[in-house]
């Protein structure tokens, strides 16, 4: 076993595993340190410095996400100096962007908005000077408005370190710094594969789910956890529902395997088929081979099928009937389907398209 070390955070002594950062250690003690750029399972970059704390004997405030704990360390997370620094940072971020919550999709779940509130800032002490970037409206999946970007770099780390798609990076530096695909391209002309990891990690309204815009406020949406209907990975996902429509699909890191919160383009942006007007709504019957399919009631459909199946079975035996089950249906449905053919019809002629 590794030797533990003792340190003090906000007057509480703790025995902790070495190698942790101050932020991790404080979080494990239930002490809240605000962050913006920090994102679990990606590199700690200490870019936003919202997580600053006071460390006794240190010359200045330190970014808790990057500072490893050491024996005898005395940390304070809530001194006036810490709060003043945090306010300064947040006011700078606020004033250097176009943070109009009235029209922002992220309103109510924005981490910048939450920070402003938590730090009790009425208005920034600086003049608001948004950079005036044109929004990236190039596609129907991801909307990007860099006027709301706080340059936390989460999207870059998500794209490179979580999804390893290597699309996003910083371009330019300093006050002209910008995040985005190479050569400042918009998404649709880049090598982006629309996994949407970047929009999932963005703390502000800079990268958002385009189709969710004006489709419902966060608090109006009903969240239902389910399993993706596409490939065999079986990603766990949250469907956000309003008025019997899927507004958006998000991964959720709390759900663990198999996808730990990540999705691909099909799972995240491929679900609108479910509310498509082409959906079948009534049973259809073709009573004679050369006629068209016509709407019918369920009872008519059941009777039509049962009569025909019984006649075929009687005339030719059960092995003249076959069924194809579906790799897209649930276990329960596949189970009943083969039970129906085997027990109700009496044949083992059942297969599915999994061979394909």
Give the footprint of ligand SF4 on this chain (CB under 6 A): 142, 149-155, 158-159, 163, 165, 167-168, 179, 192-198, 201-204, 206-207, 228, 230-231, 233-235, 259, 263-264, 266-267
Segment interacting with another protein (CB under 8 A) among 50-58, 78-86, 117-125, 272-280: 272-280
For position 140 contacting another protein by CB under 8 A, the verdict is: yes
Q: List, in order, residues 6 or more apart from 164 with CB less than 8 Å away.
A: none
For position 305 contacting another protein by CB under 8 A, the verdict is: yes
| Size, binding site for another protein by CB under 8 A | 111
Segment interacting with another protein (CB under 8 A) among 20-28, 105-113, 200-208, 238-246: 238-246
For position 258 contacting another protein by CB under 8 A, the verdict is: yes
> Which residue among 137, 222, 252, 253 contacts another protein (CB under 8 A)?
222
Distance CA 304, CA 284 (A): 11
- Which of ligand SF4, another protein, none does residue 81 bind to, with CB < 5 to 8 Å depending on kind? none
- Which of ligand SF4, another protein, none does residue 188 bind to, with CB < 5 to 8 Å depending on kind? another protein
CB of 157 to another protein, least distance (A): 12
For position 314 contacting another protein by CB under 8 A, the verdict is: no
CB of 191 to ligand SF4, least distance (A): 8
- Which of another protein, ligand SF4, none does residue 333 bind to, with CB < 5 to 8 Å depending on kind? another protein
Indicate the helix (H) or strand (E) that contains 117: helix 111-118
For position 348 contacting another protein by CB under 8 A, the verdict is: yes
- Which of ligand SF4, another protein, none does residue 347 bind to, with CB < 5 to 8 Å depending on kind? another protein
| Structure-block tokens of residue 50 | 């919202």
List C-alpha distances in Å: 91 to 32, 53, 63, 129, 333.
20, 18, 18, 12, 56
| Structure-block tokens of residue 274 | 């479910």
Cβ-closest position to ligand SF4: 267
Distance CA 112, CA 90 (A): 8
CB of 246 to another protein, least distance (A): 7
For position 229 contacting another protein by CB under 8 A, the verdict is: yes
Q: List, in order, residues 6 or more apart from 228 with CB less than 8 Å away.
A: 234, 235, 236, 237, 263, 266, 267
List C-alpha distances in Å: 275 to 82, 208, 265, 280.
50, 21, 18, 11
For position 343 contacting another protein by CB under 8 A, the verdict is: yes
For position 163 contacting another protein by CB under 8 A, the verdict is: yes
For another protein, give the closer residue by CB, 29 or 274: 274
Q: At what angle do helices 111-118 and 80-95 cross, to 10 degrees?
A: 140
Q: SS3 for 266?
A: helix
For ligand SF4, give the closer residue by CB, 270 or 323: 270
Phi, psi (5° rounding) for residue 210? -55, -45
DSSP state of 125: S
- The answer to whether the beta carbons of residues 75 and 65 sit under 8 Å apart is no
Q: Residue 203 — left, alpha, or beta (φ > 0 → left; ψ -120 to 50 → alpha)? A: alpha
CB of 40 to ligand SF4, least distance (A): 14
């Amino acid at each position: 076993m590794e030797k533990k070390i003792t340190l003090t955070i906000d007057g509480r002594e703790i025995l902790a595993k070495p190698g942790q950062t101050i932020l991790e250690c404080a979080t494990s003690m239930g002490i809240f340190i605000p962050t913006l750029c920090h994102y679990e399972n990606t590199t700690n970059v200490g870019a936003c410095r919202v997580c600053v704390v006071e460390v006794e004997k240190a010359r200045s405030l330190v970014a808790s996400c990057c500072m490893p704990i050491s024996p005898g360390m005395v940390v304070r997370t809530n001194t006036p100096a810490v709060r003043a620094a945090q306010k300064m940072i947040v006011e700078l971020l606020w004033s250097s962007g176009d943070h109009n919550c009235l029209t922002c999709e992220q309103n109510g779940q924005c981490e910048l908005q939450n920070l402003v509130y938590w730090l009790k800032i009425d208005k920034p002490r600086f003049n608001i000077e948004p950079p005036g970037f044109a929004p990236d409206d190039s596609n129907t999946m991801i909307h990007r408005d860099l006027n709301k970007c706080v340059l936390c770099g989460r999207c870059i780390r998500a794209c490179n370190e979580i999804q390893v798609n290597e699309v996003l990076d910083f371009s330019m530096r300093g006050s002209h710094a910008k995040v985005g695909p190479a050569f400042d391209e918009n998404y649709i002309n880049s090598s982006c594969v629309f996994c949407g990891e970047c929009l999932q990690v963005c703390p502000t309204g800079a990268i958002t789910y385009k189709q969710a815009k004006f489709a419902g406020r966060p608090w109006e949406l009903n969240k239902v956890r389910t399993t993706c209907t596409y490939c065999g990975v079986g990603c766990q996902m949250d469907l956000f529902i309003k008025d019997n429509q899927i507004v958006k699909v998000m991964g959720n890191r709390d759900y663990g395997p198999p996808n730990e919160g990540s999705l691909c383009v099909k799972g995240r942006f491929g679900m609108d088929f479910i509310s498509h007007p082409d959906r079948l709504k009534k049973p259809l019957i073709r009573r004679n081979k050369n006629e068209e399919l016509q709407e019918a009631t369920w009872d008519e459909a059941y009777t039509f099928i049962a009569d025909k199946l019984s006649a075929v079975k009687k005339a030719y035996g059960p092995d003249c009937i076959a069924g194809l089950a579906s790799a897209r249906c649930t276990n329960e449905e596949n189970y009943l389907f083969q039970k129906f053919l085997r027990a109700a019809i009496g044949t083992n002629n059942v297969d599915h398209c999994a061979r394909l």
